[in-house]
Amino acid sequence: MTDHFVYGLVDPTTKDIRYIGQSKEPKRRCQKHRSNPHSEELASWIEGLQAQHQKPKVIILEGPLGRKEAYRREAAWITKARDNGWPLLNIATHPVNAHTPIEPSAKLPRKGGLSIEEASNQTEYHREHLRRLVREGRLDAYRIGRMWFVNPDSLAAYLEEMKQFPQSGPRSAREQGGEEE
């Protein structure tokens, strides 16, 4: 079912997104944050707003989505926000620590995945680019220990999608005939 949303809690004064989450009912979830926040920092921010007779504004960042996709997109939004220096109050990228391995989905068998290195060797994309696509949830992947494995069907779908967008120049050192970074 596609009934989940990725939402942001916005500071009404600064207009900064201070928290990113996912829920079936973002406005109701915001009310729960006000009564039972995840962290001291979130609690302090909400209390400060309440002292000024204000409350966070809820905005929908994406949705509706399926539950698993909402978790992936939430993590991608948090990663993007942190990479861009947004003043987030989220403790983790996901309800678990950001460094905890992502559980493979039902469509992602433990066997048959391509390592990031193998996927890079089979495509024109650098390893770091593929890792970024995994972090953003654009490629289905799972982790065993420190190694990431990409679903070959997901990679093929991504490659097919990219054929629709003509490039203005080479996308990798391999295409330029040079060494990889």
Report the pLDDT value the prediction gives residue 109, as an integer from 0 to 100: 40
Between 125 and 92, the higher pLDDT residue:
125
pLDDT tens sequence across 105-153: 334 344 567 888 889 988 989 989 998 998 888 888 877 656 778 888 8
Looking at the chain, the domain(s) classified CATH 3.40.1440 span 4-83
- Check the CA dihedral 41-42-44-45 and report its sign: positive
For the chain, what is the mean pLDDT?
A: 77
CA 111 → CA 108, 124, 168, distances in Å? 8, 24, 37
Topology (CATH) of 4-83: GIY-YIG endonuclease (3.40.1440)
Query: Is residue 10 helix, strand or coil?
Result: strand
Report the pLDDT value the prediction gives residue 38, as an integer from 0 to 100: 67
For residue 10, give every residue at least 6 positions away whose Cβ sits within 8 Å of its Cβ, in sequence order, or none. Answer: 16, 17, 18, 56, 57, 58, 59
